[in-house]
Amino acid sequence: METVSTGNAEHYRWGQGCDGWHLLAGDDLSVIEERMPGGTREVRHRHARSRQFFYVLQGELTLELEGDVHRLRAGQGLHVPPGQAHQACNDSVAEVRMLVVSSPRSHGDRIGAPA
């Protein structure tokens, strides 16, 4: 078994210059490290089956969940249940790095971007 890091994991680009690395890419469990430059955000959305846990490694992430705004700093996380509308934003100028843990995997599980 080989150790995994952002140096050898499958990489992808998303959003406005953001990066993601699949540290674990199972159908039943996904662990992704993501990097969001300052001033970037994802599209507000929800997942049909996937529950997610966002855990901040560096910086401050603004995570809107069903209208409630949470400001997560390094060492803090938040659970997003299936079906809950959410949006991750980096409202600062500093980079945010975080882990996004999903069960089952969230890619291909979006059910729209509610207003």
Cα separation, 109 vs 26, in Å, equals 14
Tell me: pLDDT of 107 over 90.
Answer: no
Residue 114 lies inside a defined structural domain of this protein: no
Q: Is the pTM of this model over 0.85?
A: yes
The 10 Å Cβ neighbour count of residue 30 is 20
Whether 70 is in a domain gets the answer: yes
The answer to the question of residue 69 being in a domain is: yes
> Is 86 domain-assigned?
yes
Per-residue pLDDT, 83:
94
Could you tell me which of 12, 20, 55, 21 has the C-alpha nearest to residue 36? 20
Domain carrying residue 73? 10-103
Contact call for residues 114 and 85 (beta carbons, < 8 A): yes
Give pLDDT tens digits for 15-67: 889 999 999 999 999 999 999 999 999 999 999 999 999 999 999 999 999 99
β 96-103/51-58 pair status = antiparallel
